[in-house]
């Protein structure tokens, strides 16, 4: 339970953080809230020789509007997301999801950037980012680039990040006013990762679904963008047949592992239950 020895670095600019991480290569890791990385270091599943703490970089924090997008600094904590009235007004699924992550102690330190950069299929925010069609802003040795969340996750703990990269912000389009949303998560107890979870954002027009997007958590090696499931309800009034078809299609792409949260069949079944619940609650909330 004691991590291996490491050197600690605390840069105060993105440029310096990228410089340090590029210099250390595979021997360096960015440190954000530490609530995924430090437990892995204690288990010796991660043994970085150098930790580059991002906490001293003021420009990585905060929430702001930029035209039709919200921009959230990577070091913005899950607690900050819950506390932001601007975010709760514009993209309320972020508060709902944050409140289902761990417990207040973890949320005071755990960051949005760490949650999405980690690559753990159990993390809740990646599926929400996939659902919202978010983009990750990354600065590396060759400058800045933007990576769509839907292309970022390559496998468990494998992402589009290269050694030396710092994820600086997450950008997401603000869904239409009056949209419905829900993040439904089944967990064994408070503070647990999802057995399965579903994020839904939709808009209604004349009682019919005009747009719908669905993301799934912890039912594959990566978050899943359930496009076919969402397409099943577009143009419908979310009648039973349409919802059942969305559930069937979501289960069709789920590929969970058997673990302490249940066998494959159970977790696949629960993925569908979460989609059904999220669709129903999003419909109730849509105006």
Ligand X SMILES: Cc1cc2nc3c(=O)[nH]c(=O)nc-3n(C[C@H](O)[C@H](O)[C@H](O)COP(=O)(O)OP(=O)(O)OC[C@H]3O[C@@H](n4cnc5c(N)ncnc54)[C@H](O)[C@@H]3O)c2cc1C
Q: How far is Cα 215 from Cα 218, in angstroms, rounded to an integer?
A: 10
- The answer to whether the CB of 122 falls within 8 A of the CB of 40 is no
* Of 98, 97, 89, the residue nearest 70 (C-alpha): 89
In the complex, which residues of this chain contact ligand X (CB under 6 A)?
A: 29-37, 39, 54, 74, 101-102, 106, 110-111, 113-115, 117-118, 123-124, 161, 166-167, 191, 193
* Of 150, 135, 140, 153, the residue nearest 66 (C-alpha): 135
Pairing relationship of beta strands 69-73 and 166-173 according to DSSP bridges: antiparallel
Distance of CA 92 to the CA centre of its chain: 14
Q: Shortest distance, CB of residue 254 to ligand X, whole angstroms?
A: 18
Nearer to ligand X, 84 or 111 (CB): 111
Nearer to ligand X, 27 or 245 (CB): 27
* Of 96, 94, 122, 93, the residue nearest 35 (C-alpha): 122
What are the tokens at 70?
């919200």
Q: Which residue has the tokens 């503070």?
A: 191
Q: How many CB atoms lie within 10 A of CB 158?
A: 11
Residues whose CB is less than 8 angstroms from the CB of residue 31 and which lie 6 or more positions away in sequence, other chains included? 37, 51, 52, 53, 54, 55
Nearer to ligand X, 61 or 251 (CB): 61
Q: Shortest distance, CB of residue 257 to ligand X, whole angstroms?
A: 17
Nearer to ligand X, 110 or 175 (CB): 110
Q: Shortest distance, CB of residue 162 to ligand X, whole angstroms?
A: 10
Q: Shortest distance, CB of residue 232 to ligand X, whole angstroms?
A: 27
Q: Shortest distance, CB of residue 224 to ligand X, whole angstroms?
A: 15
Q: Shortest distance, CB of residue 2 to ligand X, whole angstroms?
A: 17
Q: Shortest distance, CB of residue 98 to ligand X, whole angstroms?
A: 9
Nearer to ligand X, 195 or 268 (CB): 195
Give the 3-state secondary structure percentages of the chain, helix then strand then coil, rounded to 5.
Answer: 35, 25, 35
Nearer to ligand X, 168 or 203 (CB): 168
Nearer to ligand X, 186 or 209 (CB): 186
């Amino acid at each position: 339970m004691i991590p291996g020895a490491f050197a600690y670095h605390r840069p105060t600019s993105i440029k310096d953080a990228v410089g340090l991480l590029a210099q250390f290569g595979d021997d360096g890791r960015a440190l954000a809230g530490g609530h995924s990385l430090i437990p892995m270091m204690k288990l010796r599943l991660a043994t970085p020789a150098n930790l580059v703490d991002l906490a001293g970089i003021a420009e990585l924090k905060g929430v702001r509007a930029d035209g039709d997008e919200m921009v959230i600094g990577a070091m913005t904590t899950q607690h900050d997301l819950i506390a932001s009235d601007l975010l709760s007004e514009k993209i309320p699924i972020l508060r709902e999801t944050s409140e289902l992550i761990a417990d207040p102690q973890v949320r005071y330190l755990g960051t949005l950037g760490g949650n999405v950069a980690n690559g753990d299929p159990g993390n809740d925010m990646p599926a929400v980012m996939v659902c919202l069609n978010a983009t990750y802003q990354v600065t590396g040795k060759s400058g800045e680039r933007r990576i769509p969340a839907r292309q970022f996750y390559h496998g468990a703990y494998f992402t589009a990040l290269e050694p030396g990269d710092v994820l600086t912000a997450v950008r997401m389009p603000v869904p239409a006013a009056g949209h419905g949303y829900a993040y439904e998560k089944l967990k064994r107890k408070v503070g647990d990762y999802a057995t399965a979870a579903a994020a839904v954002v939709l808009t209604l027009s004349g009682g019919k679904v005009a747009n719908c997007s669905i993301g799934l958590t912890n039912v594959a090696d990566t978050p899943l963008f359930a496009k076919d499931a969402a397409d099943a309800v577009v143009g419908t009034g979310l009648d039973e047949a349409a919802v059942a078809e969305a559930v069937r299609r979501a289960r069709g792409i789920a590929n969970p592992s058997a673990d302490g949260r249940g066998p494959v069949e159970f977790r696949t079944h629960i993925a569908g239950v979460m989609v059904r619940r999220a669709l129903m609650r999003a419909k109730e909330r849509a105006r």
